[in-house]
């Protein structure tokens, strides 16, 4: 089944507003003719609105890097789904391993965020992935399955049709140690099989992105795998030339 690949750039804690505008201006000019890949950028909250205004009418979508699960109230420092939707976002990354590691994100709170994103009309990009320790102990399947099952718990079939999964092995993030296409495919295939037990058509349509040291020189081979439907790019999304090359390398792989 043909799935439309997606390449999303997670900028993490990087880019002032002028830097963000300079980067997306390069992206939109270079990628204007791309029609077969969904291109998404996830700037920090402070740059969302400015980037949104710069991207109106282009083929590049906007994502938040995180949202809180309550919509409004006495939660100092938090930003909600309706707020990022208001700032122009169509997507929200949820459950990134850096949030699990540094900000007490759990499977339960990720699930609340996935539901909050859907309720706000956003498409959640749910991140799952094992640590090096998990992998060395042969716990990859168990850990990823738990994060997946818990992250999408309670979602209707309609919700799942608006959800994207990103497999990001923690040991590959920011390390330069990309998973081999075979290693990644094994987990992507397992994720899709699990989704199949819920509904075959939904599972076949679900985009499963790979993240962790994706670069221009490895993006094509990763995306040649049958269950890899694009990438969630960190470091290489901060450089226009690299991100553009990753999008181009993804074209025609599905």
Binding site for ligand 13P (CB under 6 A): 10, 96, 168, 173-174, 211-214, 232-236
Is residue 253 a contact partner of residue 220, using CB atoms and an 8 Å limit?
yes
Query: How far apart are the C-alpha atoms of 32 and 59, rounded to whole Å?
Result: 7
At residue 210, what are phi and psi to the nearest 5 degrees? -105, 140
- Nearest approach, Cβ of 180 to ligand 13P (angstroms)? 15
Is residue 34 a contact partner of residue 59, using CB atoms and an 8 Å limit?
yes
Q: Which is nearer to ligand 13P, 202 or 240 (CB)?
A: 240
146 is catalytic: no
- Nearest approach, Cβ of 33 to ligand 13P (angstroms)? 25
- Nearest approach, Cβ of 91 to ligand 13P (angstroms)? 12
Catalytic residue (choose from 66, 105, 130, 168):
168
Q: Which is nearer to ligand 13P, 168 or 227 (CB)?
A: 168
98 is catalytic: no
Q: Which is nearer to ligand 13P, 96 or 254 (CB)?
A: 96
- Nearest approach, Cβ of 63 to ligand 13P (angstroms)? 10
The runs of H, that is alpha helices, within the chain are 17-31, 48-55, 81-86, 97-102, 107-119, 132-136, 140-151, 157-161, 181-196, 200-205, 219-223, 240-250
Catalytic residue (choose from 96, 98, 130, 254):
96
Comparing C-alpha atoms, which of 211, 221, 214, 209 is closest to residue 242?
214
Q: Which is nearer to ligand 13P, 1 or 97 (CB)?
A: 97
Q: Give residue number: closest CB to ligand 13P.
A: 234
Please list, in sequence order, all residues whose beta carbon lies within 8 angstroms of the beta carbon of residue 215, skipping any fewer than 6 positions away: 178, 236, 242, 246
- Provide the annotated active-site residues: 96, 168
């Amino acid at each position: 089944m043909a799935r439309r690949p997606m390449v999303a750039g997670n900028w993490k804690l990087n880019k002032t507003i002028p830097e963000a505008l300079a980067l997306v201006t390069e992206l939109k000019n270079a990628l204007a003719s791309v029609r077969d890949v969904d291109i998404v950028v996830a700037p920090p909250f402070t740059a969302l609105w400015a980037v949104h205004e710069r991207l109106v009418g282009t083929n590049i979508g906007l994502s938040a890097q995180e949202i809180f699960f309550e919509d409004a109230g006495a939660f100092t420092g938090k930003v909600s789904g309706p707020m990022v939707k208001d700032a122009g976002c169509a997507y929200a990354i949820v459950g990134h391993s850096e949030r699990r590691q540094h900000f007490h994100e759990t499977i339960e709170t990720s699930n609340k965020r996935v539901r909050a994103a859907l309720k706000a009309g956003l498409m959640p990009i749910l991140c799952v992935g094992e640590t090096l320790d998990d992998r060395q102990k042969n716990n990859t399947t168990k850990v990823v399955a738990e994060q997946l099952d818990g992250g999408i718990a309670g979602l209707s079939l309609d919700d799942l049709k608006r959800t994207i999964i990103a497999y990001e092995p923690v040991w590959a993030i920011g390390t330069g140690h990309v998973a081999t296409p075979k290693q990644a495919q094994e987990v992507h295939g397992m994720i899709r099989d699990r989704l199949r037990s819920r509904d075959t058509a939904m599972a076949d349509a679900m985009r499963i992105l790979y993240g962790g040291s994706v670069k221009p020189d490895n993006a094509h081979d990763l995306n040649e795998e049958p269950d890899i439907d694009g990438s969630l790019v960190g470091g290489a999304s901060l450089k226009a030339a690299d991100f553009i090359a990753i999008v181009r390398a993804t074209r025609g792989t599905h």
